[in-house]
Structure 1
Amino acid sequence: MNQRIRLQFRCLTRSLRFPSLLFLGVACHAGARCLLQSVLGGSTGLLQHSSNESEREQGYCDTEDRLAPTLDFWTLSSENLIAVFPVDPVKENYVRKVENCIFSIAFPTPFKSRVHLVAVSKNVLEDLLDLDVSVSETDDFVQLVSGGKIVFGSVPLTHRYGGHQFGVWTDQLGDGRAHLIGIYTNRQGEKWELQLKGSGKTPYSRLVVSDDDVWRDQFNSGNIKKERGAVVLRVAKSWFRIGSLEILAHYGELDLMRILLDFIIQEHFPLIDVNEPNRYVDFFSTVVSGTAQLIALWMSVGFAHGVCNTDNFSLLSITIDYGPFGFMEAYNPDFVPNTSDDERRYKIGNQANVGMFNLNKLLQALNLLLDSSQKQLAAQILGEYPDLYYTRFRKLFKAKLGLLGEEEEDDELVAFLLHLMGETEADFTMTFRQLSEITESQLLQLNIPQQFWALKTVSKHELFPTWVSKYLSRLKSNINDSDSKRRKRMISVNPRAEELDG
């Protein structure tokens, strides 16, 4: 089983399911911080809103046909979480062991120095949060996204979870540098959880969290420098992860585990009946399938997560907590962007195997709630993971090559190209992109234009003409196709790598 998955890793495609990100970097003059989860304010102030609250729905922007230009009528709510889950009774914000709860209340730590907005996502503001982009120019907005103020209706929360890090159980982890500032329900009825990262100390902090000054040794050279700090606000449908369940299973908090699972199923898995006796097996089946497809998508664009611990794997099969991530440039299955991963556990070519490991840890937690027949069924579901992964992986890479239908040689054709790319150290992204742009006649004549530099690199391999011959022969089996249609299809799934200014 593992060998099969490793073979699949030699191939990769597109369309990552990242949670939508609202990049609200707030740089301060003196220091640096980076956070990506929730925000609450202990001594921080609340953004004051109109008292006409009874006339509008909680969490909904009262601007029916237009986007809100201010935060005056814009609210967040934590009620959905606080009403369901027990909250840590200790209100003081100090590092401690927390038990028998899902969240602790903790407020963000405002910067002492002046802050300013670095970047903002217009799409997230307008499409998800019903806010006009002009709101980002207001001081209230800057204070909100830097943790200086809390929106009316919000109670800042930090989430308790555990996890396996680099294959080892590390007990309590939790939101050590993050605050969930609330849930927003937009005009489409979608619920989005807003979370600050870099917003100060919480009961789950594992390091000393500085206020404004951050010292970094970026290259581990002993050359420590003070850097400007930032807070990031991100949004997602949910931040629950495998570790959210693991911590409850580890401490035998099974009633609380059932409450959490039923909540997640009811909120985020509409096809599962929360009253169905086999709901946890159905839930596991959905997560297994979603995880397999997500990692195949990562591979298709050469994305390496960097820290595939169970506390960083979403139960909704979205990409979260990818701090030291990277996109593979020269094709190399051993590529790892995380400089602290000395053993290359999370190298790009091992991500599917790690997904299997993490799902097994999820199953171990769920087994505490399953009867013998359900355990057997869940184990069978986990065993289907390699086929689920490879089916998606194969479909994605065939699309990257513009292949239609099914032919026996398809797998070999993909593997052959990746082999050539590996031996010539060709750029992964641009090789596929330039294959999308070159014409079949140019390939037939091995006439590769100078601007197709990645393809020129691959073409230096002595076996490249053999691959081209096999590829062009396979394209002839595409029914009702043309060269222009092929190129259009391939361009739609093969992104272009571009340098960013600045």
Structure 2
Amino acid sequence: MYGLLMRLVIALIHTSLVRGTFSRVSLKHTHFLRNYTSLMMEKETLCEPLKKSMSEWQFSELKLLQLPLDEIKENYVRRNVQNAVFSEVSPTPLREGLKLVAYSKDALVNILDMDPSITETQEFVEFIAGARVLDSSIPLAHRYGGHQFGVWAMQLGDGRAHLLGEYINRKGEHWELQLKGSGMTPYSRSGDGRAVLRSSIREFLCSEAMYYLGIPTSRAAAVVVSRDPVERDQFYNGFPQQERAAIVLRLAPSWFRFGSLEILARQHEIETLRQLVDYIIQEHYPYIEGKNKYLRLFAEVAHKTVDLAVMWQCVGFTHGVLNTDNMSLLNVTIDYGPFGFVEAYHPRFVPNSSDGEGRYCYSKQIEVVLWNLEKLVQALSPLLEEVDRGELLEIYYSLEGYANFKLSQGFRRKLGLTKDMPGDMQLVDKLLRLMELTETDFTMVFRQLGEVSLEELVDPEATKGLWALEKLQSHKDFEDFVMAYSMRITAETELTETIRRENMARVNPRYVLRNWMAQSAIARAEKDDFSEVALLLHVLSNPYVRQEEAERNGYASPPPGWAKTIRVSCSS
């Protein structure tokens, strides 16, 4: 109503301006009213009812069609697609015994404008299963390349994923919807295009967990499982087993990655490369303009990518497969495969049993990210003049110092400190060394350090039951650390005990998605009991606050003994 009224007022003012009956002063009123109209129209949009059926919901205009498409429309595997960014290809639907495993209410309501009741409809389940392709959808598979484990792997691409379309929600946000595990594409290589239930649950839960930890990430809206069989050799040891196929509906502002540019540069498709980079700037970095736009794009992506890696380090998250094709150009965490959160602290923690050399271990993540950014430099270089390439390298060489600064800043916050002072990283290193020697849990030691006063840290009675601190206290050098920590806190005259502990509670989670927790939920889900998936989603949606149900389930307790036997590989 307000929007209609204000549009009428604006129309009248515009007519008066054309006839010359308004003064210059009135132009200010016009500007104000137009802004007001825009705000009221946005308010009206936000008040629109959420969609309760897929027949009410539709995709927005697919701007990605501006980019070159594969001329071949048939869906068969090809090792060398050329002069294309996407191939048009439809999903292969799951068929047998479809069941909705879980959904994210937040993703549905606040991203997709869907009412949660939509999950009770068969058409929603079929939509996730790839069996209901909307008329407004033009499914695409993205062509990209990448360096995998340090080696150029040539053409890769969406081998089991279909981008269904773009959606602009009520808040004006742009999101791309993608099914993962939805069948073969021209980029499937030797794969079957499917994903299994265990990996789909892990991706669903970790995507949402990372979001609530405050870390930029793709989102997961829902998971559907079927009785359709797929065969997987989970640990590549010659013993394949039959598993059930599943699909995740995942969301991101964009799925473009470093490898999106690498394949075009490597194949000398420079005009297509320029077209893609210009599109990315126009759609996702519109504030970047001018002749130095490619330099500015790299600087923006590079610094935010380092920021992202530092966030991973600070919560103990280890990606597991930091290939260049898994690095987002929108600086969000994507492609959750064999990830893990550090438990008993070890800097060379490797969550991926396929990573025998530990290339992607916890302590090397920032180093690897910098290596990957060097490959992005190489991919952008063909678009630059010689003098600009030198400046591009200068930006790149400055990143290591930037990463060290941000890492120090992040861990300083984990200790409740607010000011940058000399020796801060030495204090952090002292603590991490103690944690390594005592095999103390990464998440809980930082959490529990903020749950007691400095005086109580060296009092075994005061810390009784705080299992991570008890373990840390067993080392002879623990009191030396506490003394150094106390002196550092004293150096910040405005940092009271209350403020320190409040600071730590805000940045140190009590609950993270430990592999044993995910495995427990997966074991139940394999028997069609999805209750623990739902429980974990609920708990991980509020990771910084103590929750009784989580405590009863041991989510903040020492990991069970069997947790040490869990192995996660690239198989999914």
TM-score, normalized by length of structure 2? 0.74
The 3-state SS of whatever aligns with 1:153 is: coil
Residue number among 428, 434, 450 corresponding to 2:464 in the alignment: 450
1:88 alignment partner in structure 2: 70
* C-alpha separation in 1, matches of 2:85 and 2:235: 37
1:10 alignment partner in structure 2: none
1:225 is aligned to 2:241: yes
1:319 alignment partner in structure 2: 333
Seen in structure 2, the aligned counterparts of structure 1 residues 78 and 157 have a Cα distance that, compared at 3 Å, is farther
- Mapping for residues 108-257 of structure 1, pairs under 5 Å: 108-209=91-192, 212-220=228-236, 222-257=238-273
Count of aligned positions: 439
CA contact (8 A) 1:100 1:256 kept: yes
CA contact (8 A) 1:448 1:455 kept: no
Shift of 1:407: 2.4
> CA-to-partner distance for each residue in 1:313-343, whole Å, 9 max, x for gaps?
0111111112111111111111111111111
CA contact (8 A) 2:458 2:473 kept: no
Residue 119 of structure 1 aligns with an amino acid whose one-letter code is A
Structure 2 residue runs of 5 or longer lacking an equivalent are 1-43, 195-227, 522-531, 533-572
* C-alpha separation in 2, matches of 1:281 and 1:460: 51
Residue 387 of structure 2 aligns with an amino acid whose one-letter code is S
2:31 alignment partner in structure 1: none
Residue 101 of structure 2 aligns with an amino acid whose one-letter code is V
The 3-state SS of whatever aligns with 2:419 is: coil
* C-alpha separation in 2, matches of 1:115 and 1:78: 30
Residue number among 366, 369, 374 corresponding to 1:360 in the alignment: 374
Shift of 1:67: 1.3
Residue 372 of structure 2 aligns with an amino acid whose one-letter code is N
Seen in structure 2, the aligned counterparts of structure 1 residues 163 and 470 have a Cα distance that, compared at 3 Å, is same
CA contact (8 A) 1:296 1:390 kept: no
Shift of 1:249: 0.5
Shift of 1:372: 1.3
Residue 92 of structure 1 aligns with an amino acid whose one-letter code is E
- Mapping for residues 401-416 of structure 1, pairs under 5 Å: 401-416=415-430
Shift of 1:415: 0.6
Residue 233 of structure 1 aligns with an amino acid whose one-letter code is L
Residue 360 of structure 1 aligns with an amino acid whose one-letter code is E
Residue 176 of structure 1 aligns with an amino acid whose one-letter code is G
Residue 492 of structure 1 aligns with an amino acid whose one-letter code is R
Seen in structure 2, the aligned counterparts of structure 1 residues 447 and 399 have a Cα distance that, compared at 3 Å, is farther
* C-alpha separation in 1, matches of 2:116 and 2:374: 43
* C-alpha separation in 2, matches of 1:110 and 1:372: 49
2:21 alignment partner in structure 1: none
* C-alpha separation in 2, matches of 1:192 and 1:283: 20
CA contact (8 A) 2:168 2:175 kept: yes
* C-alpha separation in 2, matches of 1:418 and 1:456: 15
Residue 189 of structure 1 aligns with an amino acid whose one-letter code is G
- Mapping for residues 206-355 of structure 1, pairs under 5 Å: 206-209=189-192, 212-220=228-236, 222-273=238-289, 276-355=290-369
1:379 alignment partner in structure 2: 393
* C-alpha separation in 2, matches of 1:145 and 1:62: 26
* C-alpha separation in 2, matches of 1:203 and 1:258: 23
> CA-to-partner distance for each residue in 1:421-469, whole Å, 9 max, x for gaps?
0111100000001111112231254544222101111111110010011
* C-alpha separation in 1, matches of 2:470 and 2:489: 21
CA contact (8 A) 1:325 1:338 kept: yes
Residue 355 of structure 2 aligns with an amino acid whose one-letter code is D
CA contact (8 A) 1:448 1:456 kept: no
From the two aligned structures, give the one with the greater helix fraction: 2
* C-alpha separation in 1, matches of 2:185 and 2:317: 31
**Root mean square deviation of aligned Cα:** 1.7
CA contact (8 A) 1:304 1:325 kept: yes
> CA-to-partner distance for each residue in 1:5-31, whole Å, 9 max, x for gaps?
xxxxxxxxxxxxxxxxxxxxxxxxxxx
TM-score, normalized by length of structure 1? 0.84
CA contact (8 A) 2:160 2:193 kept: no
* C-alpha separation in 2, matches of 1:416 and 1:216: 43
CA contact (8 A) 1:242 1:314 kept: yes
* C-alpha separation in 2, matches of 1:358 and 1:316: 15
Seen in structure 2, the aligned counterparts of structure 1 residues 176 and 433 have a Cα distance that, compared at 3 Å, is same
Bigger-Rg structure (1/2):
2
Shift of 1:375: 0.5
CA contact (8 A) 2:46 2:170 kept: no
Seen in structure 2, the aligned counterparts of structure 1 residues 426 and 448 have a Cα distance that, compared at 3 Å, is farther
* C-alpha separation in 2, matches of 1:185 and 1:396: 34
Residue number among 52, 55, 58 corresponding to 1:69 in the alignment: 52
* C-alpha separation in 1, matches of 2:193 and 2:139: 20
CA contact (8 A) 1:162 1:171 kept: yes
> CA-to-partner distance for each residue in 1:325-381, whole Å, 9 max, x for gaps?
111111111111111111111111111111111111111111111111100100000
The 3-state SS of whatever aligns with 2:245 is: coil
* C-alpha separation in 1, matches of 2:335 and 2:506: 27
Seen in structure 2, the aligned counterparts of structure 1 residues 367 and 405 have a Cα distance that, compared at 3 Å, is same
CA contact (8 A) 1:334 1:344 kept: yes
Shift of 1:63: 8.0
CA contact (8 A) 2:450 2:504 kept: yes
The 3-state SS of whatever aligns with 1:470 is: helix
* C-alpha separation in 1, matches of 2:460 and 2:487: 15
Seen in structure 2, the aligned counterparts of structure 1 residues 404 and 124 have a Cα distance that, compared at 3 Å, is same
Shift of 1:112: 2.8
Residue number among 397, 414, 420 corresponding to 2:434 in the alignment: 420
> CA-to-partner distance for each residue in 1:379-422, whole Å, 9 max, x for gaps?
00000111111111111100100112232221111110000001
CA contact (8 A) 2:67 2:85 kept: yes
